[in-house]
Amino acid sequence: MNDQAERSTLSSTRHPLEVSGSVELAVLERSGMTESRHIGAAAVVSSDGALLRSVGDVSASVYPRSCLKPFQALTVLRSGVRLDGVQAVLATASHAGTPDHQAVVTAMLERIGATEDDLLCPPDWPYDRETARTASTKRRIFMNCSGKHSSFLLACAENGWDAAHYDDLDHPLQVAARETVADYVGETIDHAGVDGCGAPVFATTLAGLARGVARLTHSATTDADADAGHLVRAVLADPWALDGHDRANTVTIEELGLLAKLGAEGVMVMGTTDGVAVAVKVLDGNLRAGTLTALHLLVAEGVVPQEDADRVLARTLERVTGGGDLVGGIRAGAGLAV
């Protein structure tokens, strides 16, 4: 058995999202003809966990990917680590690797005398194009998950845990993270894979993921969970740190005052501080339909005004161009029709 298989639990009885459980979420049109269609599923949940709307099979299991980061950061806070301001945001970020992001990660590591060599995430190039142009080699600190991994090291230092294997599934930190996720999504976690950064990624249903995000974001105004409220308020105060200036999640948070978090392979979650949340999975893994789908559903539930959603989409949707000119666009698909 290979190392990745050994680090995964394989006993899940839930089914993954399939084509048969997917609906049309978004359509790309070029020069008057449909060129691409993105299918998937989405769930909208209220603050009390009630399913407000299901689009496709929301009982299917998905890997939330980086949409798990808020729950992993919450686990670090629950372990006794104090994370304030931008350090709390970097713990849950998929950051762009700018010098400002790097400075926050470095400060987190310096709290315990660690360096980026202690991080277990792989070296990578920065997402930010300007920063990447000046980089001469891949580095761990550039990797979008380096803030999360730095917070993992802080948790190990705080609790006397083994810092050399903090990404193992049976490590005390990951056991605690699994419990946090199960608590928030309201489901038994019976499958874990290996995320791109090397940490465990726990499979949940789409409905469960939306339920967890709703509870998390509602804590910002109710303090039902003080650590969760602290984390969400930090993200809302410094959205640049979660993603990057002019990037989709940051723009959404700045414009709408809600939590927005992308995950690799077409996963997106958004949640309002009133406790309405949406979780989206685009089956082909393309990220460009995530913000559009999530905002469309929040508008339909009456929690985001259409004009506000349109303003965000005007800044974040991929432009369909030909020869440098606008020749098409991306719109909501038939599966999102009210």
**The whole model's pTM is what?**
0.95
Predicted pLDDT at 12: 52
pLDDT, mean of residues 210-214: 98
Residue 14: per-residue pLDDT = 79
- What proportion of the chain, given as a percentage, has pLDDT over 70? 96
Residue 223 has pLDDT above 90, yes or no: no
Mean pLDDT of 187-211: 97
Statement: residue 173 has pLDDT above 70: yes
**What CA–CA distance (Å, rounded) separates 328 from 277?**
30
As beta bridge partners, residue 53 has 44
Region 12-37: what's the mean pLDDT?
93
Q: Rounded mean pLDDT of 87-98?
A: 98
Confidence at 96, pLDDT banded by 50, 70, 90: very high
**pLDDT confidence of 306, banded at 50, 70, 90?**
very high
Question: Mind spelling out the 3-state secondary structure of the chain?
Answer: CCHHHHCCEECCCCCECCHHHCEEEEEEEECCEEEEEEEEEEEEECCCCCEEEEECCCCCEECCHHHHHHHHHHHHHHCCCCCCHHHHHHHCCCCCCCHHHHHHHHHHHHCCCCCHHHCCCCCECCCCHHHHHHCCCCECCCCCCHHHHHHHHHHHHHHCCCCCCCCCCCCHHHHHHHHHHHHHHCCCCCEEEECCCCCEEECEEHHHHHHHHHHHHHHHHHCCCHHHHHHHHHHHHCHHHHCCCCCHHHHHHHHHCCEEEEECCCEEEEECCCCCEEEEEECCCCHHHHHHHHHHHHHHCCCCCHHHHHHHHHHHCCCCEECCEECEEEEECHHHCC
Please report the pLDDT score of residue 311 as a whole number: 97
* Res. 10: pLDDT tops 70: no
> Does residue 3 surpass a pLDDT of 80?
no
Cα–Cα distance measured from residue 201 to residue 67, given in angstroms and rounded to the nearest whole number: 10
Residue 319 in this model has a pLDDT that exceeds 90: yes
- pLDDT at position 13, please? 61
Q: What are the φ and ψ backbone dihedral angles of 52, each rounded to 5 degrees?
A: -80, -35
Per-residue pLDDT band at 5 (split at 50, 70, 90): very low
Mean pLDDT of 139-157: 98
Residue range 112-126: average pLDDT? 98
Supply 13's token pair. Answer: 């009885």
**Which of 37-41, 46-50, 62-66, 276-280 is least confident?**
46-50
Q: What is the pLDDT of residue 242?
A: 98
Q: What is the mean pLDDT of residues 59-63?
A: 97
Q: How many CA atoms lie within 13 A of 155 on its CB side?
A: 27
Count Cβ atoms within 10 A of the Cβ of residue 137 and give its class: 0-12 exposed, 13-18 middle, 19 or more buried: exposed
Tokens of 42: 């989405």
Q: Identify the weakest region by mean pLDDT among 6-20, 143-157, 294-308.
A: 6-20
Write down the mean pLDDT value for the chain: 95
C-alpha distances in Å from residue 243, one per residue of 118, 195, 254, 280: 23, 18, 11, 18
Is the pLDDT score of 202 beyond 60? yes
In this structure, how many other beta carbons lie within 10 angstroms of the beta carbon of residue 8? 18
Residue 76 has pLDDT above 90, yes or no: yes
**Going from the N-terminus, what domains does the chain have, and what CATH number goes with each?**
3-336 (3.40.710)
